[in-house]
Amino acid sequence: MMRGFTTFAFALLAASVRASDDEPSHTTPAPACTATSTTGSGAYFDLRPDIAWPEDDEKAHRYAQHKDYHARGYDYGKNFTINICNSVVDPLTDVVGLEESQWQNVSAYYMSHGDIYSIGSESKGLRTRGRKLLLQYTGGSPCGGSGDEDDDDARRNVARFDSDSVLYHDGQHGPMEHIHEAGKVEAKSGGDNVRRKSTTISFLCDRDPGTVQTTISFVGTDPDECAYFFEARSQHACASAEPHKPGSVGPGSVFGVVVLIAVLVYFLGGIFFNRTVNHARGWRQLPNYSLWAGIWSFLCDMVVITMASCARFFPGRRGYSSLRSGPSTRDSEQEAQRNALIDQLDEEWDD
Angle among Cα 189, 175, 145 to the nearest 5 degrees reads 60
Same domain, 186 and 257: no
Whether pTM exceeds 0.85: no
Do 38 and 165 lie in one domain? The reply is yes
Same domain, 197 and 335: no
Task: Say if residue 319 is in the same domain as residue 303.
Answer: no
Shared-domain flag, residues 61 and 163: yes
Same domain (yes/no): 198, 290: no
Position 13 in a domain: no
Q: Domain check: are 49 and 156 in the same one? A: yes
The arithmetic mean of pLDDT across residues 60-66, rounded, is: 73
User: How much is the pLDDT for 98?
Assistant: 94
**Amino acid, res. 35:** A
The answer to whether position 37 is within a domain reads yes
**In angstroms, rounded to a whole number, what is the distance separating the alpha carbons of residues 88 and 103?**
10
Domain end: 241, 269, 293, which one? 241
Which of these three, 241, 272, 296, is where a domain ends? 241
Any residues with CB less than 8 A from the CB of 211 and at least 6 apart, and which? 233, 235
C-alpha to C-alpha distance for 268 and 9, rounded to whole angstroms: 10
Residue 93 in contact with residue 3, Cβ under 8 Å? no
Specify whether 40 is located in the same domain as 137: yes
19 lies in a domain?
no
Residue 6, C-beta contacts closer than 8 angstroms, at least 6 positions apart: 269
Q: What is the CATH number of the domain that holds 221?
A: 2.70.130.10
Domain count, the chain: 3
Is 21 within a domain?
A: no
Q: b/e per residue, 115-153, with b = 16+ CB within 10 A?
A: ebbbbbbbbbebebeeeebebebebbbbbbeeeeeeebe
Mean pLDDT, range 152-158, rounded to an integer: 44
Residues 162 and 250 in one domain: no
**Helix or strand run (H / E) with residue 138:** none
18: in domain: no
The verdict on 211 and 114 lying in the same domain is yes
Q: Dihedrals φ, ψ of 277, to 5°?
A: -95, -50
- Digit-coded pLDDT (tens) for 73-113: 999 999 999 999 999 999 899 999 999 999 999 999 999 99
Contact 246, 28 (CB under 8 A): yes
Q: Could you tell me if residue 169 is inside a domain?
A: yes
Q: By C-alpha distance, which of 110, 172, 162 is closest to 140?
A: 110
Q: What is the tens place of the pLDDT at every residue in 291-314?
A: 888 888 889 988 888 888 887 777
d(CA 261, CA 305): 37
Residue 234's pLDDT is what? 93
Is residue 338, in this structure, part of any structural domain at all?
yes
Task: Out of 241, 276, 303, pick the residue that ends a domain.
Answer: 241
Q: How far apart are CA 243 and CA 252, in angstroms?
A: 12
**DSSP code, position 327:** H
Position 150, amino acid? D
Q: Please state at what angle helix 2-22 crosses helix 251-276, rounded to 10 degrees.
A: 160
Whether residue 170 sits in one domain with residue 107: yes
In a domain, 16, yes or no: no
101 and 115 fall within a common domain: yes
Which range of residues forms the domain containing residue 287?
2-8+246-311
Nearest residue to 181 via CA among 161, 197, 166: 161
Considering only CA atoms, which of 92, 84, 179 is closest in space to residue 133? 84
**53 compared with 10, residue with greater pLDDT:** 53
